[in-house]
């Protein structure tokens, strides 16, 4: 094992591989920051570019985009309450409230450290446990998935701070909205009202941007915020990062979120989104002060960011060891491999060890690159909160409109986002 890891690092530290690993995490970070772009769209756009690349270089870059986007999505979640990635929705619950209290730097710093720590933990699990865990993932059948989905829905209801009955009603409403579109098995149209715009259903990213971004702007306008910067901003370096008390409160949630995220990343339908929701729900359930969650609890940021970053490493296990993609992004990575005539599966380790171990080693290096790349930018991002409201509000609306349109290049998504935002602000 140690020889294989050493071989992987010898591949990852080649100059071309280092450069494209950095390029991948940089593109992933930018894709995560820009709402509506995301890792899937970025990788799809990069696939034609990989045709002329060496297979190792191509997969290292594509993998960097994947886990890099998990960090980028948290930036706008914290600063603007506009999740750049669906997996960053939970981060917005407490991260945005921390920004309102003048602790945006601490929230962003925790995201940077959590991304590095959880990503590294996930890659360690991937290195040593991939073959065994791939067999565990295959043993899951319909009963296990049903239980997993039921637990996920219950966790979603636990996230609410008000009436438990109302939160369950909202979960049921979400289920009804989720069945809009064409049934994937029978092909029947469900709640489409004979319009072509609903055939693909309601896009999660579009709904999230409306529910968080547009509704927040409308509520801030209704509250009549002042003309100054959006939130209090500090310029002292020590206040731009988590303090000792915040680290003491966050290390255990971060560790639990990393472990849970990796396990859920192994499963079809799990992935970063469900992992972040479930990790957050677990921390709220076991916390001595659950009432703090949703009001700026840094442990909520740590657990959700740990879960969604480690889930990316978990999703690589079935792809590399079984050749089975369990989400859209790993499906695109499978396509990138097959473009070069490489079929992932049980024989990948012996037939193409440079790809298997090189990609794993590059994820260690890429996570360190993300930390070095994003930590110095915390102070820069925090300064964005000095922008006056009269400038910030139109900017948030512009970002959400462009982001919602770019998901499918469809103007209908913009109207849907606006409608969701209006409904969300009225609640």
Please report the pLDDT score of residue 19 as a whole number: 93
Lowest average pLDDT, out of 225-234, 254-263, 335-344, 345-354, goes to 225-234
Three-point CA angle 237, 241, 246, nearest 5°: 140
Pairing of strands 181-182, 189-190: antiparallel
Other Cβ atoms less than 10 A from the Cβ of 108: the count is: 30
Higher-scoring residue by pLDDT: 191, 378: 191
How far apart are alpha carbons 150 and 146 in whole angstroms?
Answer: 6
| 120: confidence class by pLDDT, cuts 50, 70, 90 | confident
**Is the pLDDT confidence value at 222 over 50?**
yes
Please report the pLDDT score of residue 235 as a whole number: 47
Residue 288 φ/ψ, nearest 5 degrees: -75, -20
224: which DSSP letter?
A: T
User: C-alpha dihedral over 172, 177, 182, 185, to 10 degrees?
Assistant: -20
pLDDT tens, residue by residue, 12-28:
899 999 999 999 988 88
Where do the H-state alpha helices sit in 101-224? 104-138, 142-158, 164-178, 204-209, 215-223
**Is the pLDDT confidence value at 239 over 70?**
no
User: What is the percent of the chain where pLDDT is above 70?
Assistant: 85
| Selection from 31, 26, 44, 29 nearest residue 332 by Cα | 44
| Selection from 276, 367, 407, 330 nearest residue 68 by Cα | 367
Please give the average per-residue pLDDT across 101-118, as a whole number.
85
**Is the pLDDT confidence value at 268 over 70?**
no
pLDDT tens, residue by residue, 351-406:
888 888 888 889 889 888 888 887 777 767 766 666 677 777 787 788 778 877 87
pLDDT tens, residue by residue, 290-322:
888 888 888 888 898 888 888 888 888 777 777
Q: DSSP secondary structure string, 149-182?
A: HHHHHHHHHHT-SS-HHHHHHHHHHHHHHHT-EE
Residues 361 and 5: beta-carbon distance below 8 Å? yes
Please report the pLDDT score of residue 15 as a whole number: 92
pTM (2 d.p.): 0.74
Q: Domain map of the chain by residue range?
A: 2-426
**Is the pLDDT confidence value at 156 over 70?**
no
Residues 241 and 100: beta-carbon distance below 8 Å? no
Please report the pLDDT score of residue 18 as a whole number: 92
């Amino acid at each position: 094992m140690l020889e294989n890891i050493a071989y992987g690092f010898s591949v990852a530290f080649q100059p071309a591989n280092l450069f494209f690993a950095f390029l991948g995490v940089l593109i992933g970070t930018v894709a995560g920051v820009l709402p509506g772009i995301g890792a899937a769209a970025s990788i799809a756009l990069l696939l034609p570019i990989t045709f002329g690349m060496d297979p190792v270089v191509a997969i290292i870059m594509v993998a960097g985009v994947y886990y890099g986007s998990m960090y980028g999505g948290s930036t706008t979640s914290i600063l603007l309450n506009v999740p750049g990635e669906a997996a960053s929705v939970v981060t917005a619950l407490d991260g945005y409230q921390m920004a309102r209290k003048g602790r945006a730097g601490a929230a962003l710093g925790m995201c940077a450290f959590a991304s590095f720590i959880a990503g590294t933990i996930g890659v360690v699990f991937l290195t040593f446990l991939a073959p065994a865990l791939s067999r565990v993932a295959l043993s899951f059948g319909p009963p296990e998935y049903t239980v997993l989905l039921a637990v996920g829905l219950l966790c979603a209801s636990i996230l609410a701070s008000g009436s438990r009955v109302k939160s369950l009603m909202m979960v049921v409403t979400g289920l009804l909205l989720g069945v809009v579109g064409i049934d994937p098995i029978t092909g029947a149209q469900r709640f489409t009202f004979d319009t072509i715009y609903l055939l693909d259903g309601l896009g999660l990213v579009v709904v999230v941007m409306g529910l968080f971004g547009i509704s927040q702007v409308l509520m801030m306008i209704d509250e009549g915020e002042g003309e100054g910067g959006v939130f209090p901003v500090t310029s002292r370096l020590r206040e731009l990062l988590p303090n000792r008390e915040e680290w003491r409160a966050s290390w255990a949630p971060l560790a639990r979120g990393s472990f849970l995220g990796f396990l859920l990343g192994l499963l079809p339908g799990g992935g970063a989104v469900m992992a972040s929701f479930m990790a957050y729900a677990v921390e709220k359930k076991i916390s001595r002060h659950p009432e703090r969650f949703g009001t700026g609890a840094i442990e909520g940021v740590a657990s959700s960011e740990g879960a969604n970053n480690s889930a990316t490493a978990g999703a690589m296990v079935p792809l590399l060891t079984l050749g089975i993609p369990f989400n859209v992004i790993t499906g695109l990575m499978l396509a990138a491999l097959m473009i070069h005539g490489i079929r992932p599966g049980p024989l990948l380790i012996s037939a193409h060890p440079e790809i298997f171990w090189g990609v794993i080693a590059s994820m260690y290096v890429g996570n360190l690159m993300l930390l070095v790349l994003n930590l110095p930018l915390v102070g820069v991002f925090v300064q964005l909160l000095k922008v006056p409201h009269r400038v910030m509000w139109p900017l948030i609306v512009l970002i959400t409109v462009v982001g919602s349109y770019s998901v499918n290049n469809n103007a209908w998504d913009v109207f849907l986002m606006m409608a969701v935002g209006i409904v969300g602000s009225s609640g």
